[in-house]
Structure 1
Amino acid sequence: MVPEAGRWLIGWWRDAPAPRRGTVRFVAVSTAAGVALAAGAAAVAGPWDGGQRKAERDHAAAVSLARHAGGGGAGAGRGAVTAPPVLGTLRGGARPPGDLGAALEPLLHDPALGPGPAAAVVDVATGERLYGAEEGIPRTPASTVKLATAAAALAALGPEHRIETKVVTGPDGGVVLVGGGDPTLTARPQEGPGPRPAALRDLADATAQALRGHDGGPARTHVLYDASRYAGPALHVIGPNENIAPVSALMVDEGRLDDSAKGPADRTADPAVDAARAFAALLRERGVQVDGEPAEGRADAAARPLAAVSSPPLATLVERALTNSDNDIAEALARQTALASGQPASFEGAARAVTARLAALGLPMDGVRIADGSGLDRADQVSAEFLARLLARAAEPARPQLRPVLTGLPVAGFTGTLRDRYRRDAAGRAVVRAKTGTLTGVNALAGTALSPDGRILAFAFLATATTSPDAAQGALDRLASALTAPR
């Protein structure tokens, strides 16, 4: 029998996001089996199913893996080699991981990492801390704080939660567009495969039909918009910036002023106004006479609902936020956590709510300070131990709601913010999955790696006072790759 923890860990690595889809035959051979298994993940793209890879819940896959592990059956004796070393380590670690200190310490002294970088490595299956260097000292985490934001949101709301944008009746024959806080609401036509965001076009279709009524006659209205679900200042502490729009409960396409879907871009100064104008234009395209320009208003509690659309599941939003290091989604996740926790949906309220949820997960909170959801605020402070423990917590079979924290991690050399890294350092390619963090003078990497003996290791490396981001990123990548190398 494959233990529950081992079964999930194997399924998760097997269905890591990858550049193409295909079929891979898994053969486990001694201690190299773990590396072969993870390298196979680079050739398999598990479809997004409510934010979690289908194989995580695929009993048939687990049974197939158990047959490989247990011998017997039709495949036995025909080149299908059993793999007790791999599955044994997943049961709880029958063998030591080697001298991690000897492997990591020379790399930690790389001048590119600045003075005294912090490091923590934890065995995911057992929770054992395998290595630490200044692991308990809080540092600026940059975007690796998104791991904390994601875990808090999933703990508060669950992976299936969806954010609703709706239209209700307004005064004097008008309608009110009510924002729920979905930053992925789009005014663009859907293109390509993948999870479909909530579409403003669909909302306009349903609203126009509701306004026409059963007779299908001409309709006339005016548009109000309500973004009051969020509180406090909309601007992040870094001010107007191409990395994040003003945080609003009503926006389309993350307030981007170009056709991009990720990365830096010019942003609108007033996302709610732009969303309302786009909605009014779509109503006009559908034959509704819209009087005047949209104006700010409030939906009445007794207003009649006319139409609604919902975001993809929260798990999908988490994965997108982590894979692409999406600041707008991360701040929305923090505010949704605040709303679920009875806090004001502001930067301050979100910080309190996220902190409380993390503490409730039993994580080491000494010195932890959450200032925002995205990591753009240098006031954020976490330790390497905190991040490594968080990743290990997300792998616990008893906490399936946290699983998207892991499935959203970029794959080294293939996806997201690690797509263009690990070109020179091939050792960690495909077998390292990690969240990146970059601010001026700050570089971080936190994720998971597959060790040569089949262990999944959670790690965090935090460096401050760095002078070259490229050199620091290369040094961090070498540290993560060292976890995968034979010792």
Structure 2
Amino acid sequence: MARRDRLVMLTTLAVLQALTIVTGVYAVTTDFSLGALTSGSSPTEPTASPAEGSPPIPVVTSGPVLAQLSATSGDGPLPTKGTLTKQLASALGDQALGGRVGAVVLDTVTGEQIFASNPGTAVTPASTTKIVSCAAALASLGPETRLSTRTVQGAKPGTVILVGGGDPLLAGPEAKQGDYPKQASLATLAARTAATLKSQGVRKVTLSYDTSLFTGTPKAPGWKPNYIPDGEVAPIYALTIDEGRQDPEFRSPRVADPPQFAADAFAKLLGKQGISVAKSVRPAKAPAGAAELGKVDSAPLYALVEHTLTRSDNDLAEALIRHVAIKEGQEASFAGATKAVVEVLRRLGVTQDIALSDGSGLSIRNRISPEALARTLALASAANRPDLHAVATGMPIAGFSGTLGNGRRFTGSDSRDQVGLVRAKTGTLNNINTLAGMATTKDGRLVTFAFMADRVPVNAEPVLDRLAAIVARS
């Protein structure tokens, strides 16, 4: 069987098999020539695409990554530059892309530019920003790091403080478990806290909450005023349940005060565990060295990164870069977090243009060059950077998962033959369309690419899909 036919067959079978598994089980093995993957908007008035801020739905995604995900697993011959250049240059001439376009295709083995058109142009990246945010998080924090939400003893007897650990996926009492990754639960934290209190003979408490882990404004520079009302993102706080959704099953509305909402829910959960809670629940700072009463941990960071990229999760992206800021000695604000991300990327060797105002890509002030995105993705597939592999495995699969599996992408006659053979992150705001990812050429060479346009007249997604398909079939 030809190598290409085998890749198509294995990829398709793996994904179809995963789609038939009972909801709640998300184990899938995909041969994508990236090595074995094993499960475990207008520049002045942006509006996030519904696909970029979608509500929770079951998706196929991957878990722990096997070590053979690497550039050396895609070391076939390079595609013929002349042919590839001609085809990409022709597609880049499509008027749907508008007046400013940057493009680059990189060989992951040598780092060589196989194709480039304005590769250093700093373009508004939209949600492809999440690629650099997630890479920085993995590099700084490590893929096994977990985010902890705790309760501690207050300064006075009979006082409890709920301490936000910066985990926006913390499941509230109405959340339904079974999705990937498995979420930490506020109900579990209440049960553990109540058990500790009862062991101490305490049945009545005063509850406070601490959100001091994150600092600064909860809204980023460059966010449109309707982002929060429309449910694209919640105000960013260290204590949040269900990503600030009033009902975890729906994207909107988001609650105005996520910490208070979470603390009030926790008070009710304690009551159900037999602990009476005083009516007033207010913010407070946990004393240094306070005794821990209970704790719950998030899924490991690699799973959070995969979720962030596959779902284009704005809330989690913003939380992750704040944890990077803390680890890197910066303040856990938008300014400190974005500074920390850029510093980590420079340490990794990604020195091309990156200027950030947020971690999700909702801000129209962000600027990233195609070269920087493609270099970051090349690092994520490198044999010597297994800590970054979750960036690669988190990429949506063309036609199947995440923002590439919404029924709109890779459906044209010039791209649908590459369904299942491209992994890429989308970016969409008004008049902004970007796509950055990776593919294996027909001869087995692993390449990364970034195609970015931020002066799009209407919609350039079909053209970006065509460009990625050209790379994959080259």
Residue number in structure 2 paired with 1:481: 469
Q: How many Å apart are 1:427 and its aligned residue?
A: 1.9
- Report the equivalent of 2:426: 436
Matching residue within 340, 365, 383 for 1:397 = 383
Q: 1:320 aligns with which of 296, 304, 307?
A: 307
Secondary structure of 2:357's counterpart equals: coil
Post-superposition shift, 1:33? Answer: 4.9
Q: Residue 451 of structure 1 corresponds to which residue in structure 2?
A: 441
Alignment of 1:309-388 (within 5 A): 309-365=296-352, 367-388=353-374
Q: Does 1:169 align with 2:153?
A: yes
Q: Percent identity?
A: 40
Question: Cα–Cα, structure 1 residues 465 and 161, in superposed 2: closer, same or farther, change >3 Å?
Answer: same
Greater CA drift, 36-45 or 345-354: 36-45
1:150 is matched with 134
CA distance in 2, matches of 1:409, 1:289: 46
SS of the residue corresponding to residue 224 of structure 1 reads strand
> Counterpart amino acid of 1:135?
P
- Quick check: 2:244–2:254 contact (8 Å CA) kept in 1? yes
Structure 2: which 5+ runs fail to align?
18-27, 30-37, 41-60
How far off is 1:347 after superposition?
A: 0.4
1:428 deviates by 2.0
**Per-residue Cα deviation, 1:156-188 (whole angstroms, up to 9, x for no partner):** 000000011000011241100000101110113
Report if the CA contact (8 A) 1:89-1:95 is conserved.
Answer: no
Matched, 1:307 2:302: no
Deviation at 1:364, TM superposition (A): 3.1
Bigger shift: residues 239-248 or 223-232: 239-248
> 2:64, 2:282 → 1: CA distance?
44
Per mean C-alpha deviation after superposition, the further-off stretch among 246-255 and 422-431 is 422-431
Tell me the amino acid that sits aligned with residue 244 of structure 1.
V
Q: 2-side partners of 1:294 and 1:88: how far apart?
A: 56
The amino acid across from 1:479 in the alignment is: L
Amino acid in structure 1 at the alignment position of 2:107: D
Q: Distance in 1 between matches of 2:81 and 2:7?
A: 13
Judge which range, 184-193 or 441-450, deviates more.
184-193
SS of the aligned residue for 2:453 comes to: strand
Check the 8 A contact 1:178/1:299 in 2, yes or no. yes
What is the rounded CA distance, in whole Å, between the counterparts of 1:228 and 1:177 in structure 2?
Answer: 11
SS at match of 1:461: strand
- Please point out which of 245, 269, 283 is paired with 2:256: 269
With normalisation by structure 1, the TM-score equals 0.82
Equivalent position of 1:182 in the other structure: 167
- Residue 125 (structure 1) aligns with: 109
Note if 1:423 corresponds to 2:407: no
**How big is the shift at 1:94?**
6.4
Q: 1:415 to 1:30 in 2, by over 3 A?
A: closer
Amino acid in structure 1 at the alignment position of 2:94? D
Deviation larger for 343-352 or 123-132: 123-132
Q: 1:199: which partner in 2? A: 185
Kindly indicate whether the alpha-carbon contact (under 8 Å) linking 1:437 and 1:444 is maintained by their aligned counterparts in 2: yes
Q: Any conservation in 2 of the 1:33–1:454 contact (CA below 8 Å)?
A: no
> Relative to structure 1, is the Cα distance of residues 211 and 30 closer, same or farther in structure 2, using a 3 angstrom cutoff?
closer
2-structure distance, mates of 1:58, 1:445: 25
**By how many angstroms is 1:369 displaced?**
0.6
Matched residues in 2 for 1:89 and 1:185: separation?
37
Contact (CA 8 Å) 1:39, 1:431: kept in 2 or not? Answer: no
Distance in 2 (alpha carbons) for counterparts of 1:137 and 1:251: 37
SS in 2 for 1:422: coil
Indicate whether 1:259 and 2:248 are aligned: yes
Distance 1:224 1:53, change over 3 A: closer
Contact kept? 2:39, 2:65, Cα under 8 Å: no
**Larger RCO: 1 or 2 (CA < 8 Å, sep 6+):** 2
Count of matched residue pairs? 425
What is the RMSD of the two structures over their aligned residues, measured on CA atoms?
Answer: 2.3
SS in structure 1 of the partner of residue 276 of structure 2: strand
Match of 2:43 in 1: none
Aligned residue number for residue 53 of structure 2: none
Deviation at 1:57, TM superposition (A): 4.2
- TM-score calculated relative to the size of structure 2: 0.85
Amino acid at match of 1:255: G
* Separation of aligned partners in 2, 1:58 and 1:108: 34
CA contact (8 A) 1:370 1:381 kept: yes
The gaps in structure 1 that reach 5 residues or longer are 1-27, 63-86
